[in-house]
Structure 1
Amino acid sequence: MFHAVSSLVRSPRSSQNRNDQHRPAPDRSAGRPSQRPSGRRDAFFDNAKYLAIVLVAVAHAWEPLKGDSRLLQAAYLVVYAFHMPAFIIVSGYFSRSFDASPSRVKRLVTGLVVPYVVFETGYSLFKRYGDHSPGQEISLLEPYYLTWFLIALFIWRLTTPLWKTLRHPLPVALGIAVLASVSPGIGDDLDLQRVLQFLPFFVLGLCLRAEHVRLVRRRSVRVAAVPVFVLALGFAWWAVPRMNAAWFYHRDSAQELGAPWWVGPVMQLALFGCSLVLTAGFLSWVPGRTLWFTSLGAGTLYGYLLHGFLLKAAEYRGWFDHPWLHRHVGEIAVSVLIAVAVTLLCTSPVRRVFRVVIEPRMEWAFREDPLRGARERGKASA
């Protein structure tokens, strides 16, 4: 996911659950992805992952504050329209090489399943004792708060070989998402509504190639993104009292949101188009050169999974209830603090401490792949 990374907010229905190589780009000022030696990370994608995780954390911090500010609610809608789609598209882009080989299945287990079990348990226990909620159960079938993305990415990656064999995978994925939006019987197990409604973004990422990324990085797109985001913010400000924000969470069907069934497909397709435009604008602004935060892009999974404990602790202790935090100065202060906090959580010292539960090696749990040596010798001879 990104390393495995995107939000994770509570919907009104459940307020508590919450290679191809890149060719050298002649225009360096455009910050396009450039070709790098094998094994080298691409600064553009690391920058995108870091900036996206900051947006995710900031938007989560806005959740308990936005009720008193129409402008903050509008900004919240704009961010929620593209930050998880951007996460998921990039996740799909880096999942193109998934082939269900033993080594990649092992990586799925250690990189997604194990963190899911650990953090699903951790967040549930944290709520039980931190919020004095003895009724909070530990259920691996009902993802709590941030953990839904881990199980979603696990399912999406497992189905990657299927999408790579279809002639038109994106229309099929959109059809599945549309059907999910009118199917209240899907229920909450594994947060399948989100898994299915966000699926088209992952499949889109699988379909992308380096040349598509270069198109987004053009100067004309960066310039056009300015009025696009201004218009989006203006529309969101108008829509705040008229639209249910739960549509952006993609965790409910139309009927569960109190709308006629036919609104589900309309909203699904409209939000998909809106998310793509805003994601393209966001990616067009991402720097392509190495900056001070580029190395943090490798640790976004840590920032994603850990920042929720900070926000939940603040919620359980009632810190968000202080009146001054609901003023503009307080909202800005909270945004800056959580941005700094998630930045620190992506750093190497934090990663070294938590690697045992977020990126465990677990060699003891897996048999040696008998074909691994042959494959490596084949690559070397090629």
Structure 2
Amino acid sequence: MSAPTHELIVSPFLDEHLVLHPGSARGVRIKTHRYLELRQLAATGAPLPAWLRAAARRGWNLDLADRSTGETVLVRDPSPYGHGRASYEVNNGCNWACSHCVYGAKRHEGLAWEARERLLHILRDAGVLWLELGGGECTIDRHFPETYTLAYDLGMMVEILTNGSTLYRPHVLDLLTTRRPYRVTLSVYGATEATFDEFTGRRGAFRKFVRGLDAAREAGLPLSLSVVVTRENAHEAPAMRELAARYASRVREYSHMSPTFTGDADPLAQQAPEFLHNRTPFTGCDAGHTSLNVNPFGLASVCKISRDHPIPLLKEGVAGLSRLGDIADRALQRHSGCNGCSLQKTCTTCMPLVTLYRKAGSSLDRYCQHA
């Protein structure tokens, strides 16, 4: 595999300009005139300016002495669309069979490489700087290596969501250490082999998970772990937290089960009632305006939950995203029983998620304070 072509990314991001180092979530804000300076220096092959060499040394311990701007920095063009973040579901297929999964039927379906290549260029042109690659299990997709490599080489900061089952394989490790993601996020489904394997419906899943974690830690990949608590593994919740803390400083816990993205109720049966807790009020989000989700067929939606009125990016191109903000605004409007509700200001659930709960026939106590 060829080596990456840049050490730093300089890019507009919403109303700011950032300098980023692939493989690190840390960034440096710069003024607009510094961004314009670097665009010109990169085009002419001039040496790196002293202020950028100093910033790279402070921020990432990089020694960039005697390097030209053109060979070191990838300078991204401004985008009129302003979508700084995106999630791309590479393929909904998965090698595990978790009963809490929000993807429902996990079919191995996705775009052919030529179409996927076009899609990644569209996302770049939309302004996407931070890209999450997920699934399903993205690393088992046949075009994952090319997808990841192109996203990286186009100047995107890449995070992968993975179950960890392939992280120990040499070709995956080589890919992720040659072109480092800024984050690798895995989910913890149990602290023992028996619980983990039963949860995933796959014998040997726990051994592959731990082997992948060990390989990723040894390679110095930036790990983030999500502890997922359901009725199947609630008895191991403390041990799951301890396991996660041994591998990652960034640990999150998820205990509220949701319907599938198509509104099926099956995952709700996995809820551990004793782990339901009060959530913070939903005060709005900028999904659809500054971020978006793309499904395995290149259909862009407001987010993973709000998938109505998808935009076919391969047909309409980046210009189609100009409609996404209006779609998002309509999706967030309260309607039906929520319209005029006196508890709206303290409601913890966005309207698209309420719609999924209703479609699944969920009891009110899962999503509504009036319960």
Query: TM-score under structure 2 normalisation?
Result: 0.23
Higher relative contact order (CA 8 A, sep 6+): 1
Flag the structure with larger Rg.
2
